[in-house]
Structure 1
């Protein structure tokens, strides 16, 4: 019967295996702390700055203070939450040209991220949002003042009126941000597109810019209040023109837009995976302690005992493994 410690499984060095549950708990605790701080900041910001910006908008008819206040809140909140944004294809954003931006939807953090990515449009950027948000104090009133359009997905007549109102604003020069899936995707995969966005684009004769956002579902999962620090990529695609098209073309426009968003989403996810792999490889390459561990393993396997024999059976290093199991990624995950 073999004595000594049982064989170690391949993976992390033995002293770090017992630390993994505690590391996960630590990451969760830090994410919870970031979340609480972010929510507290946003709530206080809305309570303190929101009424002042609304008063200026009512008294002077200026919408810019509301947009400036919103962009300031979004910028600080994303930093507090640890969300880093990378934008690709920003040249497709043209503030002077009315545009419908069609985006996939998987997380509640996507609207503020996209609001920040489309900052150059200024006060001409409008959003079609779900009607339930009108009940939010101060925020709902601000949406109404700046011309955001509420839509009730369960009321067909109200939805039609909302699309007509948005189309009229687009003909007047506004750009719109819409989530044509109509709801958040639980799996992160693209859901079927609804028709309202493309009916708006045809009736207003505005171009459609497909947009994909990847990584937001890792920042905030559906059904979870926690916000996790992560990197989010926003990819803008080439525009789809609607000039001269009628209402009967809305089905073809929907299919084209969905195909382009799907391709952009796949590209964005690939970029995130490649960036993650490079980061892990770089971390492993720079880790001095793992290299020292590797050297100590080799020395322990080849060094004879003081009496000229081989090491006793059952006496092993804390990090000793078979040669084919000496893999170190340098990652804490």
Structure 2
């Protein structure tokens, strides 16, 4: 391991011999494309304005990737390069080094999107490649961290493409109460496995609640201007929870930090999947889909989603749609 890290440090120093204010700025901008805030801005755009189901898929796979990354960081507990040699610190980051969350998250994110956009796979490889290089250049990751991050992302994408449809159909066929219990259990297990990361299980539980309860159901189609208004309103609301609550909740070393961090991220998740869509519909910025609770034919409560005429057929229909669209 020492030999790999020594080689990595030498490579970082070799990259940084090319350092200039311009190059520093370029790689600093590139690395932002792998920040948590970038995904918070882009994933809801897909969910609110283009395809609700695909937005759900992207978010859940990304959350799974982030959970795996945080767990592996805690397991390996490897210091970052600039903590070993402060001279290589151009950028700054917190937490452990192995594997690179930016490298892993970017390949996961763009790898899920790839089949849905033109030249998706070249874009995924280029963006994740540039982000990985930026992490090495800035001195916040060893090259081995980036390579392991990409490898973990490849495994996650392989699992997603192999079994994603099957898991989705299985979940949709459960009753709404069973879905809520499953979301709560998965979130609790995440906290027990890695108590240092309460953000990921918080978002997962909050987003799942919004997806399971029917009042957040909506149709993501519409005119460009309507979609723009929808997105701006939705992201402003998310910012209230994400940024606003961070200003009033305890800091990292204060009592109650992890519990309230779970709550803050949970509120972000439930706003994205339930709060914002509900507001969109009230303001006339979105319509309910065919199985909306406001549709007279679909019932008024979660229990109606469990009837043979609604819940099961909807689950099967969405599963069929998933398989058809991913086969395009």
Taking structure 2 as the reference length, the TM-score comes to 0.24
Taking structure 1 as the reference length, the TM-score comes to 0.24
Structure 1 or 2: more helix by fraction:
2
Structure 1 or 2: more strand by fraction:
1
Greater relative contact order (Cα 8 A, min sep 6): structure 1 or 2?
1
Higher radius of gyration, 1 or 2: 1
